[in-house]
Amino acid sequence: MSFIELTSETFDAEVLQADQLVIVDFWATWCTPCRMLTPILEELGTEHPEIKICKLNVDDAQDLAEKYGVMTLPTLLFFKDGEMIEECIGLVSKDRLLSLLSN
């Protein structure tokens, strides 16, 4: 599965206007836990194609990181119908993500 790479310009269209659940992974190239989270998200995305998974490099979109109060990487924000419904900070397991999705 391939992720949708977000920018400040594409965020609204890809996330806020989406008609499905969207998980946005706030990450950076220098963040080791971020790299460790990528295969977990790939597996989740393959098993749950109804979920849109996007990545946002905070070094390229500091405005969005600031807007959503992202202070720690990785941070996952869950959006539905244009609203943030859940936040998950740090490296998390696939089981933890699945439990958040079942809420």
Q: Catalytic residues, which ones? A: 31, 34
**What CA–CA distance (Å, rounded) separates 21 from 40?**
17
Measured between alpha carbons, how far is residue 28 from residues 13, 96, 100 in Å?
A: 22, 22, 23
